[in-house]
Structure 1
Amino acid sequence: MVDDTSDTDEDGPLDRDDQEIGATVAGDDDALLGVLPHFYRGEVSQANSAQDRIDRTTDWAITLLAAVLSLVFSSRNMPAFLLLIGIFVLSIFLFYEVRRYRFYDHWRARVRFVQENVFANALEPVGVEHPAWREELSDDLRNPTFKVSTREALSRRIRRVYGLLFAVAGVGWTFKVTMFTPEQQWTEAAELPGLHGALVAVILGLFFAGVIAIGLWPGGREAKGEIHGVEPGDWKNE
């Protein structure tokens, strides 16, 4: 029986020394300090890229709302339901942005983790926030997870941006079906095919009540951050 293991070892996968090259860095403080800045710059770049994607979504949402408002109020004959379509599309943008925000928070949390456990202690060595920070960061690199829940991300984007956009659209709809259509009853201006205007108003009111409830929903903070006087959340939601 022919033994082919020598050929396999020679031409096959990397040997153990090559596979464990990262472990040699862990045992050498100078090598580790040489690697960390590159890692940090990479995470900052990822966070900036994710932030740009969020900003683009927000810009499109604002542009859409401005376009719909301009169209609806350009003539008395323009129907009010165009604003309802605008609200629906804004909701789609919101859910896209929630997912993008969760990715952004993922990268941002890593950046802050390195800042508070490495750079802050380098400037003033009073101890680290997480004694096992290297193990925690290593685990997150091997098993990356979102640091913020969908509910919290949705609540934060509503409070920061979309609550105001929805409010502007809602006020615009109210003015359109009342003051800008004096020749009709508001219920006639608000009606949709098969739906009475009063029912449309009730549905819209329930929608805004849901938006307000989500935006103000109480709960423990999971997103990483210490700005605006808010207590910082956990580094990672296990």
Structure 2
Amino acid sequence: MAHLYRGEIHRMKLWRERLDRTSNWAVTLIAAILTYAFSGASRPHPVILVGVVMVTVFLVIEARRYRGYDMWRSRVRMLQRNVFAYSLDPSQGIEDPDWRPRLSKDYREPRTKISYEEAIAHRLRRVYLPLFTVLLAAWLFRTVVTPGTQPWPASASIGMMSGMLVTGVVATFYLVLVAITFRPRVWQATGELRRSDVGAWDDIE
């Protein structure tokens, strides 16, 4: 069981690193796009929206990786709760009496434990919503605060698309992001730490 646990920890660590790698790509891309967009007054504002599209692609990729990461983390948490926690303090009993059949079934038929939408919500809360906010602030600054030769909303136009239409599309996209991030839901991710879970250790008598 100890070797099994060590193997699951190693696999979970590898998937954790894959998540971090995608986030690093997104941050690097944003830095490059903002550097280009603000390097001169004549730079077109749509390049920032291209950054929004690319970061969305990274978000979708990372959500898929997060679902895989949660598979291995759920096994680690099952072993921690029902093997090691019980070994350290048997007086608390076993949290899940059916953990052995459940773990055995998961090894026979591995399946993802969370939906794509929940995975996207997790990554938005942890990483991507602040990144999207930075891009939105940069786009608003280029089109509203420093619009150039045309005032807003004309400054937000792209080709044949009017500035109001572009602004409406951007606003709708960000409203969808906020709805996915903060929609009330029952979280299925196993062992996920949230702000409400953070606190001091209880005194043990």
TM-score higher than 0.5: yes
- The corresponding residue for 2:59 is 94
Letter in 2 for 1:43: E
Between 1:208-217 and 1:186-195, the stretch displaced more is 186-195
Q: Rg: which structure is higher?
A: 1
CA distance in 1, matches of 2:193, 2:16: 17
Task: Provide the C-alpha distance between the structure 1 equivalents of 2:164 and 2:104, rounded to a whole number of angstroms.
Answer: 57
Distance 1:185 1:90 in 2: 28
Q: Which runs of 5+ in 1 are unaligned?
A: 1-35, 231-238
The whole-number CA distance in structure 1 between the counterparts of 2:126 and 2:164 is 30
Aligned to 1:134: 100
Give distance in 1, aligned partners of 2:155 and 2:165: 12
Relative to 1, partners in 2 of residues 1:188 and 1:226: Cα closer, same or farther, differing over 3 Å? closer
For CA contacts below 8 A with separation 6 or more, give which structure has more relative contact order. Answer: 2
Q: Map 1:29-178 onto structure 2 (within 5 A).
A: 36-126=1-91, 127-178=93-144
The amino acid of 1:74's aligned partner reads S
Partners of 1:193 and 1:218 lie apart in 2 by 39
3-state DSSP class of the match of 1:227?
coil
Q: In 2, distance between residues paired with 1:181 and 1:76? A: 9
Q: In the alignment, is the contact (CA less than 8 A) between 1:79 and 1:189 conserved in 2?
A: no
Deviation at 1:189, TM superposition (A): 2.3
Question: What TM-score, normalized to structure 2?
Answer: 0.92
Kept in 1: contact 2:148–2:155 (CA 8 A): no
4+ long deviations beyond 2 Å: 178-183, 186-189, 226-230
Matched AA of 2:67? R
Q: Aligned Cα RMSD in Å?
A: 1.2
